[in-house]
């Protein structure tokens, strides 16, 4: 009973007599739910790219109460200090922003028609690696700010190829060595066992007695592979 109270309440309110209260409640919940501006750098806000390539730093915004003079910016966390990459204001929906760009090799590829404020970073270098923050502030929400982070990792393709090659070679060599060791171990073990048996055989032959002979015959039949190399 207790657990279903909310659902029951909503159902009774939304039945004919309480329809107005129900609508009010739903409206209230809706406004409360979608008040915030949302910045998003995608499901996987992380990219590993080779130096010299051109990457997209994705960011989109979402606001169900609409935007007016939405301020947005991209900034780069350069060793603790935030460096502005670019910023602008979107006056209203469907009006393209007039971008101010503060970093070289940056191109705005977004569009307010698709709530897209992504940028392209051309010909990336190792210094470009790091955290990029997509920031937004909608005056309609009393200027509350929102942001999302995208991480760029710059790698040297050659090093990656080298690594895989090294791993392949290492595992091949390792496998071969392991095989060799196993083989040698088995060989040594076999030789050791054979030697032991031979020793035992000799001992038996030397100290042979009537009873020992039958036992000797048994162990001799067990170690049949041994006499052949001796004869050969
Ligand atoms: C990537 O970095 C390496 C090492 O610094 C450099 O030799 C190479 O030319 C760079 N590649 C590009 C495409 O810039
Ligand atoms: C980053 O910060 C460290 C320590 O604060 C400093 O030694 C280093 O030179 C800085 N690097 C750059 C690229 O500013
Ligand atoms: C990127 O590099 C290519 C080739 O080096 C060059 O032609 C192009 O102008 C560069 N683009 C930018 C935006 O620097
Ligand atoms: C944003 O725009 C860029 C360039 O047109 C596009 O590549 C990217 O897929 C867009 N992102 C989203 C989430 O629509
Ligand atoms: C975002 O807002 C918080 C408080 O609401 C403030 O402390 C912070 O400095 C703001 N960030 C930016 C980048 O303006």
Whether residue 82 has its Cβ less than 6 Å from ligand 5: no
Which residue's C-alpha comes closest to atom 14 of ligand 1? 52
The CA–CA distances, whole Å, from 140 to 20, 37, 173, 219 equal: 28, 10, 65, 97
Ligand 4 pocket test, pick from 43, 54, 114, 122 with the greatest ligand atom count within 8 Å of Cβ, gives: 114
Span 25-44, average pLDDT = 73
Task: Measure the CA–CA gap between 59 and 43, rounded to whole angstroms.
Answer: 11
Q: Tens digits of per-residue pLDDT, 169-219?
A: 677 777 777 888 887 888 888 887 888 878 777 665 555 444 544 444 444
Q: Tens digits of per-residue pLDDT, 90-130?
A: 999 889 999 999 999 999 999 999 999 999 999 999 999 99
Whether this prediction's pTM lies above 0.75 is answered by no
Longest dimension (CA), the chain: 113
Report the run of H or E that residue 140 belongs to, with start and end: none
Distance between Cα 81 and ligand 2 center (Å)? 10
Q: What is the DSSP letter of 52?
A: T
41 touches 24 (CB < 8 A): no
Distance between Cα 119 and ligand 4 center (Å)? 9
Span 46-71, average pLDDT = 92
Q: Tens digits of per-residue pLDDT, 159-169?
A: 555 566 666 66
């Amino acid at each position: 009973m207790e657990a279903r109270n909310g659902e029951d309440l909503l159902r009774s309110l939304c039945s004919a007599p309480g329809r107005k209260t129900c609508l009010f409640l739903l409206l209230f919940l809706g406004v409360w739910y979608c008040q915030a501006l949302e910045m998003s750098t995608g499901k996987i806000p992380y990219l590993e790219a080779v130096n010299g390539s051109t990457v997209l730093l994705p960011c989109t915004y979402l606001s169900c109460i609409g935007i007016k003079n939405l301020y947005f910016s991209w900034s780069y966390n350069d060793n603790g200090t935030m460096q502005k990459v670019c910023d602008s204001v979107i006056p209203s929906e469907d009006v393209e922003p007039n971008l101010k760009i503060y970093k070289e090799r940056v191109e705005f590829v977004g569009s307010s028609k698709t709530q897209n404020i992504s940028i392209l970073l051309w010909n990336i270098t190792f210094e470009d690696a790091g955290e990029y923050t997509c920031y937004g502030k909608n005056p309609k929400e009393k200027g509350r700010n929102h942001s999302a982070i995208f991480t760029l990792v710059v790698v040297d393709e050659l090093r990656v190829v080298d690594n895989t090659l090294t791993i392949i070679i290492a595992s091949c060599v390792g496998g071969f060595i392991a095989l060799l060791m196993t083989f040698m171990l088995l060989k040594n073990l076999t030789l050791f066992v054979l030697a032991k048996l031979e020793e035992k055989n000799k001992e038996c032959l030397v100290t042979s007695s009537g009873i020992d002979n039958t036992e000797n015959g048994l162990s001799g039949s067990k170690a049949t592979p041994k006499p052949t190399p001796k004869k050969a």
